[in-house]
Amino acid sequence: MADHYQVLGVQYGATQAQIKAAYRKLALKYHPDRNPGDTDAEERFKQVAEAYRVLSSGGATFTYEQFSQPKPPSPSSGSPRDRDPYFKRNKARARKPPEPTVFSRRTKIMGSAFMALLVILVVAIPMTLQVYASIHNYKEGKALYDRKQWVPALKQLEYAYRGVGVRNLETARLITRLMTENLKFFNQALPHISRGLSYSETAADSAFFYLKKGIALKNSSRFDEADSAFYSALTKQPNWDSAYYYLGEVSTFGKQDYENGVRHFSHALEINPDYSDCFMGRGYCHYQLKNFDIAVLDFNSFLKYSSKDRGTGFYLRGMALLETEYPELACRDFLEAEKLGSKGGKDAWLKFCQ
């Protein structure tokens, strides 16, 4: 059906006067008398006349205008969403946010139980493996230590350290003994001693590691730090004769502070009167302080109670006797020291007794 408004070239809703004026103009333009033999003009004239007839009839105008409005876009035009009838019908519904999912109480309980089990498995299995590895490596290292295979034992024990290992304290204790007493790796022992202190739970444990720390520092010629470590051991275990003995060694042989050496060795002997090494140390301090008679008495006590390092004991007592009223007795001690393998005894006998 032709759009009569477009045929006459007027807007929709035009007045009758506008329609009539447009018709007259076009009828004159396309009239057959003005266009003889022009079939296109004749056809155009017929369309104009028909359009004017329809639009000029009052009753038909409204009905025609209803059906002569622009048609909606064809399905081939517009976006896919506009062409989708399902989307159009559900456009308002699609814009709404999705409804939240509601779980039943049973589902929530089962989900929580599953998550708890998953966490337990993720955490418990690695922890169990670490605990097992800690125990296994410690036992292997301890067996090697008992067989006096020091280096393999050290390597195996280092593997025993674990984040949740149950043998970390025992491992640190055994490595500390191994490195300070057997291998004499004093500087290398310090990190393990620090680990042992971090694992310590009792005062006795801390005292042990502080004592070993002092020994390692003393043998590394770090005498002030060694002093501090031994005093720390005494704060954990006040009446520890070994701590006082090592303090005496640091004062005597590290700092040449013989008066403090006498004090520390004497304190150790007050705690343990049978600590024979303290007699040797204190006798040496008295010898350096020129208290020769007292030095002889300490060396006498050392030789009476000690079964080790007796050659050095006889040599030192002989040197002290040279400065007393009985220098002739020194030669006997030098000979005895030489018999026990003391080079100093032999040299002293050659120097003072020939």
Domain boundaries, the chain: 4-68, 121-209, 309-354
**Greater pLDDT, 14 or 287:** 287
Q: What is the pLDDT of residues 185-237, one digit of tens each?
A: 999 999 999 999 999 999 999 999 999 999 999 999 999 999 999 999 999 99
Give 4-68's CATH code, choosing from 3.40.50.300, 1.10.287.110, 1.20.210.10, 3.40.50.150: 1.10.287.110
Q: Is the dihedral of CA 298, 299, 303, 304 positive or negative?
A: negative
Helix pair 105-146, 150-160: axis angle to 10 deg: 170
User: pLDDT grade, residue 67 (50/70/90)?
Assistant: very low
CATH number of 121-209: 1.25.40
Helices (H), 57-149: 58-67, 80-83, 85-89, 91-94, 105-146
User: pLDDT grade, residue 101 (50/70/90)?
Assistant: confident
Burial class (CB in 10 A: 0-12, 13-18, 19+), 188: middle
Burial 74-89 (b: 16+ CB within 10 A, else e): eeeeeeeeeeeeeeee
Report residue 303 as tokens: 């030789």
95: enclosing H helix or E strand:
none
Predicted pLDDT of residue 79: 57
User: pLDDT grade, residue 86 (50/70/90)?
Assistant: low
Percent of the chain at pLDDT > 70 equals 83
Closest to 9 (Cα-Cα) out of 18, 17, 1: 18
What's the rounded Cα separation, in Å, for the pair 77 and 236? Answer: 92
